Structure formats: structure tokens, C-alpha cells
Amino acid sequence: MSRIFVEGWAPSYGAPLDPDEALAPAEGTVDAAVETSSWAPIDGEDDGIDAVTFVDGVRRIDARLILEDPDAGPVPGLCGTFAVGAVTWDRAEPRSRIVAERIERWAVLPAGREEIFPDVDLRPGYGTMAAHGDDPSAPVRALQSAMRSAEAHLAAALSQEGFVIADGPLAELAPRPVVGTVKSHRVMYLDPERNRVVGALARGQRTPLFTFGGYARYSWYVRLADVPDGHAWSGVVRCEAAQTLPIADVIAIAGRTAALLPIVASEAHVDPRAPQNLVPIGGLERVLRHRIGDPGLVLRRLREAVSERRAS
């Protein structure tokens, strides 16, 4: 009989274990023998790297929009802001510092519309972006996609200077020293025997590498922390790197992540997504949320700009 657990994450953040079969790879496409055919936990290996840079982004829906079209009826859109940034962990000092920030504001309208959003007394102001698709979530997806693209470009630029950890799955698969970290487990990729290996990981251990067809990336699981009263997958993240990298490089990177990520894992009294939301990422998110501005002020400026447009 299965045991029941209450997840440690605050419910407003979703859940770290979130099955979604629609995202599962086709049967038979997982290759769990790319590194070794003998699956067992592997200890992390600290190779002494001097610094690690973490990249993340935050987004906010500032206002919902309605376009009054006499033929189509009310047409929905939104105004949203996102910020992406990076923080570098200098292991020798040790300290972390913000090394990059970027803010973008967008009015997201359905594709094919000719409206241009008015100027708003904010810096930066709002550009106009098209959302493709008729469902109500299309504008949110468009904003999210733009943020992920900005994160990928920033991670790619910073990877020319050193090792980069990106929060979330990789959006770019060039041969760069960039690792994506996925906090929630939407799909069970492995067979039951190998899933038991994931559950048996100790803090600072990883699984062997595996791939799944059509995704062009190596993946592995890392145990960040031993979570009190947690289930077997509590405190586990999935990491990924581009399959265009030499496998020997990815093996070294995987060992590095298993050794270093537990050091910066968050704790429940500090972060509601502990331990998966890493400390440098959590600190960066707080700074970026501050940078995108007070939501009440932003909403007032939006209403003023739209009202002035209608009156003109």
C-alpha cells in the first residue's frame, strides 16, 4: 500500500511532483545506457571550479486587456512585464553578486491585430507582441516564451565566460557549458527499476545520464537534500545539458552539479519551494521582482495611457 505525504512546497507554487502524461516521450525513446548500463547512485565530484553563474527570470501580468471589436466582439489580451538576470557565486570569497539584469514590458495581442499599444509613462515602456492561438492562455504563453528566450540568450552570453546554471529546462541546445535545472517532475521518464535508483539517491549523489528521443539533451537526477518526512523524490531535481556537448564533458558537468548544488539548496524556513529553489536563484528572484516596479503604480500608468488614447 502506498504511503501518503504532504508536499513541502507552499501550494501557491504548484507542486514539485506534477505528472502530465501529455508531455511524456514516446514509448521506447528513453536511452538509459548512454553513460553506463549498470544503474546505481553516483557520488558528486567537486572539480574546484572558481565560480558558478545562475540565470533566472520572473514575470508578472500587469493588466488584462479587452479590445472592443464591433465584428469579432471583445478580444482579450494582456500587459505583462518580465525581468531576467544573473548572479555569480564566487566560491573563493565566498559571495554572490548580480552580474546582469534586463527588464521588458509587453502588450500581448492576438496575432493579426493592427493595434499598437500607447506609450506609458514607465521605463522601459511597453512594446506590442502577437500571441498565436485562439485559446485564452495564448497571451500568457507568448509572454512566458519571450522570457524564456531572453533567459536563453543571457545564459548563452555568460557561458562564454564560465559555467552557467539556468533555472528551468534549456531553451537553447548549442554546445555550451549551461545546465538547466527542472524543479518539478511533470513526467516519469524512466522505468520502475531506474525510478527506484532516483528514490535511493543520497544528498550529493546523481543518477547516470539518460536521453529521450526528440529532445536533444542529456538528463540526470540530483538529490539536493534529505527532506524530513519527505517521500523518495523529495529534494530531487532533474538536470539537463545539450546533447551537442561531448559526453565526457557532460559527465564531468553532472558530477559537478551533484557536488555543488546541494551546497546552495534552500531551506524551508527561507523559501517556500525548498530545497529545489536554489539560494542564489531565490535571491535573484527577489531583486528582479523589485526591479519590475510596484504593481499598483504600473496599473495606474496603464489605465492613464489607455484612457488618454480613447479620449484623443
Length of the chain as a residue count: 312
Q: Give the residue, 32 or 11, on which the prediction is more confident.
A: 32
Q: Torsion over CA of 198, 200, 201 and 203, rounded to 10 degrees?
A: 140
Q: Does 8 score more than 70 pLDDT?
A: no
Stretch 227-234: mean pLDDT: 85
Q: What is the pLDDT of residues 149-184, one digit of tens each?
A: 999 999 999 999 999 999 999 988 899 999 999 988
The whole-number pLDDT of residue 147 equals 95
Angle at 173 between CA 175 and CA 104, to 5 degrees: 120
Per-chain mean pLDDT for the chain? 87
Q: Does 11 score more than 70 pLDDT?
A: no
Q: Does 18 score more than 60 pLDDT?
A: no
Percent of the chain at pLDDT exceeding 70:
90
Q: Does 10 score more than 70 pLDDT?
A: no
User: Three-state DSSP class for 83?
Assistant: strand
Burial of 187: CB neighbours in 10 Å, binned 0-12, 13-18, 19+? middle
**For 110-114, 187-191, 204-208, 240-244, which range has the lowest pLDDT when averaged over its residues?**
110-114
Q: What is the pLDDT of residues 164-173, one digit of tens each?
A: 999 999 988 8
Q: Give the residue, 114 or 141, on which the prediction is more confident.
A: 141
Under the banding of pLDDT at 50, 70 and 90, the label for residue 6 is very low
Q: Give the residue, 110 or 58, on which the prediction is more confident.
A: 58
The whole-number pLDDT of residue 75 equals 81
- C-beta atoms surrounding 89 within 10 Å: 22
